[in-house]
Each structure stands twice: as C-alpha cells, then as structure tokens.
Amino acid sequence: MNQNKLFSQTRWRLASWYAVVMGFILSLCGLGLYQAIVHAHLQTLDRELEAVAGTLHDSIENTLKQPGRLEATAQQLLPERTEKRHILGAIHQGDYYVRLLDRSGRVVAMAGFAPDGLPLTSGKETWATIKDVQGNRYHQISLTLHTRNNFSWGYMQMGRSLKDLDNYLANVKLILIFGLPIAMILVGVSSWWLAGLAMQPIYQSYRQIEQFTADAAHELRTPLAATQATVESALGLPHLDEKETRDILRTIERQNQRLIQLVADLLLLARLERKAMPMRLKPCCLNDVVSDLVEELEVLALSAKVRLKNEVRVPYPLEVVGDEEQLYRLVSNLIVNAIQYTPAGGQITMILDRSNGHALIEVQDTGIGIAPSEQKRIFDRFYRVNSDRSRTTGGSGLGLAIASAIVQAHGGSLTVQSELGKGSTFAIRLPCISKC
C-alpha cells in the first residue's frame, strides 16, 4: 500500500487529521482536568477555612464587650505563634494566620505567623486571595465581629498559605505539559497504524478492481483480436466464394458468442455480489437438480472421454429454499469445471447427502488437482489452475467465482479439498428444509 502514491498520501492525511483532532481533544481534556483539580482543592480549602474560622469567631465574639477593645479573655483564645493549642493547634501552625481589625481597619491583634508585606484588605470582602512581598499566595476569609450587645466591633481575618497547593498545581502543569507531547507522539503512531488498518479493505478492493480490469481487458482482447484478424484476412482476399464467406462468418460468430458469454457472466457476477439480482425463492428439490444436470452433461463428459455418475446417499428428497435457476447454474459450473480439468479416462462423481441440518452436494473428480498455494485463489475472477487447458475448452475463469457468489447468496458455503495429481472435491452446503 505504501508503494501506491494515492493511498500513501491518503493515509498520511487520515493520520494527520486523526492526530490533530485527538490532540485538540486531549488538550481540552487536560485543561478541563486541571480546572477540575483546582476547583476541587479550592472548595476543600474554603470548607476548611470556614470551619476553623467559624469556630474561632464564635469563641472570640462571646468575649467582646466594647467596640475596638480586645478583652484579655479574647487574647487568651488567640494561639501564640509557637504554641499548638486551641483549634489552630490541630492544623499546620505555619500555614495559618489570624488578624483582628477594628472598624477603622487597624490591626488590633494578630496570631499564627506574620507573612512579610501582607497587604490589608477590607473586611467587607468575605473571600480574598492576596500575595506577600515574596509573591506567595494566601487565601483569606473575613468575618464580622460584634459585641455582646450586638454592636459592630470590627473584623476577624483568617488566611492560609497556598504554597503547598501552588507546588502541587505546578507539578500537575509539568505533567500535563510534558505528557501532552508524549501522548501526541503515541497518538501519531497509533493514527498511522489505524489509518493503514482502516484503508486495508479499501486497498484490497482497489487491487481487486485493478486486477479485474487487467484480466477483463486481457480476456476481451483475445476474441477481439481474433475477430480483427479474421476480418483483415477476409479483406485481403481478392475474391471470396460462398464457402469461404460462411467459414469467416462462423469464426466471427464464435468469437462474438464468446464475448457475449463473457459479458453476461461479468454482469451476473456483479449483480450477485451487489445483491442487486432479484431472487425467485421457492422450495427446490436438489435430487431433481443433480439428476437433471448429470443427464444433460453426460454427453459433454462422454465427448471428453470422462465418466460421469450420480450417487444419492439419502432415501428421501432434499429440499432447499432458493432460486432454482441459480442453483442449476451453481451445480452446472462445478460439473463443467470438473470435466475441463479431468483427463481422458477419468471419473466424476456427483454425491448428494445431508450433514448437520444442511444439504451436501459433492463434486469429486480424478483430475489434475490443485496445489495448496492455489486453492485460496481458485474462486477469484479469471483465475485458472491450468490456463492453456481452460482456454482450449473455452473457459473464461469466471465459473467458480459465480458459483461462490451463488452459494453466498443462498446462505451456504463452498469449499474445496484437493491433492495435486489425484483430483479435487468441491463441497456445497445449503440449509435444507426437509428431514436434514
């Protein structure tokens, strides 16, 4: 496939588009994953700050008596920077700070650690994310404080360092930044492989069409060339008597009949493969089909000095649902094929039997046989085991291809067993409707 420029370019385009689309999808997924991680951690942090700040706020607010004045009992509730008591002591001491602001925004008290250059924010904003002079981020919650008489006292602000979160997110970014190119490389390789895999049936069909076109042209060229030669020889003669004229016309007629038969076989095969041919399905007795064909083709077998006999191994009629005309064509092709490839003095045996719910028709011959390497190709169009012998008998190489198509159209199977120099056995299996 890589040797064909058209398919190679198409494969590159499919792989490129697949890689681009997958890269876009992976980028969106990576961005969404990152945003989800950030959102989940911030939500956890907010709940943590709310719980800690709420508990401390309620404890301090119960001790406040006058606006702007911090009672001794309230100061005792605030944890020292080096102590680990009260509610802050249960959390990382170095990650939290607490600031108490009066109504004018002046810091009255502070606990926890004191970040350098941390700006003051209005207590009216419940949530804020601020930075110190070193660029470290802090997430802060502000809660209003009231005295026991419900007078406004000021604000309590509690903040937590985001350094551990920022470090974690930096690692996530690093993984995504380096992981995306690696993923794209893997996507590119897999897309190239998948594009080739997806195009393989198309390429096989293209090769079959290419081969079919070449074979059909070759088959058509032979009778056309013979006809042309006959006409040219006739035109080159100065005088033609009636006998010569009739001989020339008979030759042209034979070549024309060959062309007509070849075109008819090609049309039949195309219709069968496209399932465009109407099927006149009805119960058909295979006993009658086989016996009629043996009787009809016995003259052809005798002229080829081949013995043709019929062997029925079931005591009752075998019936299948199918198109009787096509079934006749199916069995006829196999018998004619056996006659063509069986030397004089040989024998062809038609066997009618049943097997596992199927009607079984076997065509056994003592012909030239088929090599194992050729057995898979004999059902291809125009393929001949012995080209010279087939041409002598007038075969086009389409008989087995048509037989295989007819069997498939009837839901059956056609197999071959052969040994070179000893003969072949073609077996037809069709679903039957009587006593099988």
Return the closest-CA partner of residue 348 out of 391, 384, 305: 305
Average the pLDDT over each of 54-58, 150-154, 273-277 and give the range with the smallest value: 273-277
Give the pLDDT confidence score for residue 307 in this predicted structure. Answer: 92
What's the rounded Cα separation, in Å, for the pair 300 and 403? 19
Please tell me which residue, 191 or 255, carries the higher pLDDT value: 191
What is the rounded end-to-end Cα distance, in angstroms, of the chain? 46
CA-to-CA separations, 155 to 61, 115, 123, 190, 390, in angstroms, rounded? 10, 19, 6, 60, 105
Residues 170-223: tens digit of each pLDDT: 999 999 889 888 998 999 899 889 888 888 888 877 776 777 677 667 667 777
Q: Looking at the predicted structure, is the pLDDT value of residue 103 above 60?
A: yes
pTM > 0.75: no
Give the CB-side neighbour count of residue 395, counting CA atoms within 13 A.
28
Q: At what angle do helices 163-236 and 242-274 cross, to 10 degrees?
A: 160
CB atoms within 10 A of CB 170: 10
**Residue matched to tokens 């006993």:** 287
Give the CB-side neighbour count of residue 424, counting CA atoms within 13 A.
24
Give the CB-side neighbour count of residue 128, counting CA atoms within 13 A.
18
Give the pLDDT confidence score for residue 91 in this predicted structure. Answer: 44
Give the pLDDT confidence score for residue 436 in this predicted structure. Answer: 53
Q: How confident is the model at residue 435 (pLDDT cuts 50, 70, 90)?
A: low
Residues 358-396: tens digit of each pLDDT: 899 999 999 888 888 788 778 777 766 664 445 455 556
Residues 394-427: tens digit of each pLDDT: 556 678 888 888 898 888 999 999 888 889 999 9
Residue 119 contacts by C-beta under 8 Å, 6 or more apart in sequence? 130
